[in-house]
Structure 1
Amino acid sequence: MTKPEISKLGYVSLVSTDLEKSLVFFKEVIGLEETEVMDGVHYLRAWGDFQHHTLSIRQGDRAYVSHIGWRTKQKEDVLAFKELLENEGINVQRIEPWTTPGIGEAIRFTVPSGHTFELYYDVKKPAADEKRASVLKNQTYKAWAKGISPRRIDHVNLHTAEDWKETYSFFQDVLGFKLREYLKEDDSNQILAGWMSVTALVHDVALVSRQKDELPTPARLHHLSYWVDDSQDVLRAADICREHGLNFCGPGKHSISQALYLYVADPGSGCTVEVFSGGYLIFEPDWEPVAWNASERAFGNTYWGDSITKKEIIKHTIEA
């Protein structure tokens, strides 16, 4: 029997302690479009995202990520994953179709890193209203309508204080992620950070292993990332952040992934967003993961530009 597969990152479910500030940030600064508001939850997506939403935000008494959604390759994969996960001893919650607007039947579970994942296949792809719709048939909204205006969601970066061997094994052997690049201890094979994907991207998810005393809670979200088309868009993002009085890190370029970056935090939730562009794609079926040593960490993080190792803004994580 063929193992079930994940096709892509779907959405992030965010809880904010100041919903009003978060909505201004994500709608006016980042430039996401709102597709629906239901029961106090706001559903947003970028102008090139097709499914109902790639981010949901609601008010809460603390800031955290409720769960991270991933779309499977086939409808049958959802229940196939349920069976596979239960055979691994994972408790799986079944979510009735359309309980979450735009999302069909789903399963939700906690991975060994401590993060909550959701898997689903069926989605709704609502059209934009006439005033916001693009004239392009292969694009949802007009580009550049407001804010930084990213094309699509790109990846999430997760931190965990749980066992690194069990966590990386689960992501690869059970969920099917491929390790593309990784950071390890100089004198051992202990993985400190791994960049993994189910697509041709260098990473759909990055996972960073941290000691328990370094994290307030075992499972954290370091950042979520939205993709812009080119380097000029990243520079434009810096102008927009400055106009809104927001501190940011970047622009710069990672050695790992070779991508351009800018990091800025949502004032409402504290959630950091990476504006992301460039990099490379992986099409080789026999790709060998690229290893970086801990002594190369600063260079791996910053090839050139504003060093992320010196910026407090991206050291901030929220509970996930």
Structure 2
Amino acid sequence: MTLPEIAKLGHVALVTPDLDKSLWFFRDVIGLEVTEEKDDTIYMRAWGDFEHHTFSLKAGEKAKVDHIGWKAKRPEDVQGFALLLEKAGNEVEWVKAGEETGQGEAIRFKLPSQHAFEIYYDMDKPLAEEDKRSILKNQRYKSWRKGISPRRIDHVNIATSMDISEIHDYLANQLGFKLREYVSGKDEPMKAAWMSVTNLVHDIALSPRPNAATPNQFHHISYWLDDSQDLLRAADILSEQGIKFIGPGKHGISQALYLYVMDPGSGCRVELFSGGYLIFEPDWEPIVWTEEERSVGNTYWGDTVQDKEENQLTIEA
């Protein structure tokens, strides 16, 4: 029997208390394209994303991530994951085709930390409107049409007050994620982790928040920029708008260039991300960083992430 597999990160569904401000930020400043507005939800994607949406916005009383969506590798894998998760004692909710606009039948369930995940396979891949469409058949929109204009969604970082190793074990054993890099503490074998189902260093990262009010916190969503010059251009655009940010800098872990900025409508953090390395070895041995090495792992050079008070803020997921 072939075990079900996750192919890639699909989307993040954000609830915001200030829809107008969040829409301005993600559409006009970050530069995501609106693909559809339906049932009080605004669906968006980057110019290089093919699926109907990689991000959605909906108004609510407080900021939170409603769910994180993952695309299965094969159509039958949605059912396969439902069976495996239920067998392991998870409660699985079926989402009918079309209930989430553009998406086929899906399942939703919660990690031990209560982060809500969704697994789907079918998703519409609409063309862009003619006036926004690229002449290149292998991309949907004209690049650099507006705002920072990232190419695609890259990864998510979830935070929790729970033992990180427990969430790692769930992602590895139930969902097939592979451990790529991690931080090991004196009293805890795993204090933070970077995991993936693709060749990326991480499709998901796990961050500790021991004093968080709930175990299901969301640290950031990341969108990919092609190179370092794009990151500097993003800094200029944010500065022109009077929006504060952290970075640019370079992570030791992942070796990627970064810039962090907060959505003024929801407080959701966005990481603009470039560089890094890919993993092709099937027998990859996870890279271990000690607590003493953590500062280099977080910030190899540049504006330091760990020393910024605002970087400790998270929203509920």
Task: Pick the TM interval, shorter chain.
Answer: over 0.9
Q: Give 5+ residue unaligned stretches, structure 1.
A: none
Question: Matches of 1:63 and 1:189 in 2, distance apart?
Answer: 31
Question: Matches of 1:89 and 1:119 in 2, distance apart?
Answer: 17
Question: Matches of 1:237 and 1:314 in 2, distance apart?
Answer: 19
Question: Matches of 1:190 and 1:95 in 2, distance apart?
Answer: 37
Question: Matches of 1:264 and 1:209 in 2, distance apart?
Answer: 20
Q: Deviations over 1:32-74 (max 9, x none)?
A: 0000000111000000000000000011000000000000000
| Corresponding residue SS for 2:222 | strand
Which residues in structure 2 correspond to 1:280-319 (within 5 Å)? 280-319=277-316
TM-score normalized by the length of structure 2: 0.98
| Corresponding residue SS for 2:191 | strand
Which residues in structure 2 correspond to 1:257-272 (within 5 Å)? 257-272=254-269
How far residue 216 of structure 1 moved from its aligned partner, in angstroms, is: 2.0
How far residue 189 of structure 1 moved from its aligned partner, in angstroms, is: 5.3
Q: Give 5+ residue unaligned stretches, structure 2.
A: none
Query: How many aligned positions are there?
Result: 317
Question: Matches of 2:165 and 2:226 in 1, distance apart?
Answer: 35
How far residue 296 of structure 1 moved from its aligned partner, in angstroms, is: 1.2
2:245 is aligned with 1:248: yes
Question: Matches of 2:164 and 2:28 in 1, distance apart?
Answer: 38
Which residues in structure 2 correspond to 1:136-151 (within 5 Å)? 136-151=136-151
Which residues in structure 2 correspond to 1:81-100 (within 5 Å)? 81-100=81-100
Question: Matches of 1:152 and 1:217 in 2, distance apart?
Answer: 30
Partner of 1:104: 104
Question: Matches of 1:292 and 1:202 in 2, distance apart?
Answer: 15
CA contact (8 A) 2:71 2:121 kept: yes
CA contact (8 A) 1:192 1:210 kept: no
2:19 is aligned with 1:8: no
TM-score normalized by the length of structure 1: 0.98
Partner of 2:114: 114
Partner of 2:129: 129
How far residue 3 of structure 1 moved from its aligned partner, in angstroms, is: 1.1
Q: Deviations over 1:188-243 (max 9, x none)?
A: 552111000000000000012332xx112211110000000000000000001101
Question: Matches of 1:292 and 1:166 in 2, distance apart?
Answer: 19
How far residue 314 of structure 1 moved from its aligned partner, in angstroms, is: 2.1
CA contact (8 A) 2:114 2:215 kept: yes
Question: Matches of 2:154 and 2:181 in 1, distance apart?
Answer: 17
How far residue 168 of structure 1 moved from its aligned partner, in angstroms, is: 1.2
Identity %: 60
CA contact (8 A) 1:114 1:162 kept: no
Question: Matches of 2:214 and 2:183 in 1, distance apart?
Answer: 22
Which residues in structure 2 correspond to 1:36-55 (within 5 Å)? 36-55=36-55
CA RMSD of aligned residues (A): 0.9
| Corresponding residue SS for 2:104 | coil
The one-letter code of the counterpart of 2:141 is Y
Q: Deviations over 1:149-176 (max 9, x none)?
A: 0000000000012233332111001100
| Corresponding residue SS for 1:94 | strand
